[in-house]
Amino acid sequence: MQSLSLLALTIITWVERFGGPGLILLALADNSFIPLPGSLDAATIILTAHKRNLWIYYGLMASVGAIIGGYLTYRVSEKGGEEAFEKKIGKERAQKVYKKFEKHGWSTIVIGSLLPPPFPIVPVLSAPAVLKYPRHKFLSALAVGRTLRFMTDAYIGRRYGQALLGFLGQYKAPVMYALIALAVLGGIAALVYVKYYRPKRRREERERGEPVEDLPIPGKGNQKLKERSEKSETEAEVRFKSPSEKQPDRRTA
């Protein structure tokens, strides 16, 4: 986590030197299987803050790069298929993503493309390919979501960028230390969750004969067990309805 944050800061500094083309290259990386969460948003805002008259240009460059990068991930996922996708994010999580796309395919892509970090973009780009979602629909939804997001970033940079740069210039060292501290704490928390909490929680669920969660949430009970209980209650209600409630009124007017 710490190395990723420092890497993102280094890349943003590099992008500042290359301008629009640098945004496209960063977008290609950010929308791949090795994403740098938030780096493209930050770079777009910073570049626009430096050259406010070019905010539309920078917003469009970030959007174009994100759309191209997203489409490349779509194509790779198309070749990898369902097995590779489920191996990447977990079978249980993949099933939930499939259900969302089956109900609201186009809007799911738009919303997923709009949401900022830490929301993961890779499942939104890969699931449509696995489900054979039409390319033209995928591209149109991705274009809408990404353009809205990065044009908004560019406008924020134009409108508030100078104040942000002034703040960062005045408190550069404290901000850097704070980011590093957050990255270290995040890394420790992730390590504790993956190495200790998750295996322990899953083991306890197996011992109790409960359904095992892929990603158990600290402080909350077994969500799978809760869903199963709610489903059973719903089925029981339907099963024990009176005949008059089940049968429609066939009387004619």
SS (H, E, C) 90-140: CHHHHHHHHHHHHHHHHHHHHHHHHCCCCCCCHHHHHHHHHCCCCHHHHHH
Q: Name the maximum alpha-carbon separation found in the chain.
A: 80
pTM: 0.60
pLDDT over 90 at 251, yes or no: no
Q: Give the range with max mean pLDDT: 24-28, 85-89, 240-244.
A: 24-28
Average pLDDT of the residues in 76-91? 71
pLDDT score, position 196: 79
CB contact at 8 A, 211 and 224: yes
pLDDT score, position 182: 59
Instruction: Provide the mean pLDDT of the chain.
Output: 75
Tell me which residue of 33, 40, 50, 31 sits closest to 8, measured CA to CA: 40
**Terminal Cα distance for the chain, rounded:** 70
Residue-wise pLDDT tens digits, 104-126:
778 888 988 888 777 778 778 88
pLDDT score, position 250: 47
Backbone CA torsion sign across 205, 222, 109, 98: positive
Q: Model confidence at 145, in pLDDT bands (50, 70, 90)? A: very high
Average pLDDT of the residues in 226-243? 62
| CA 82 to centroid of chain Cα atoms | 19
pLDDT score, position 62: 93
CB contact at 8 A, 23 and 43: yes
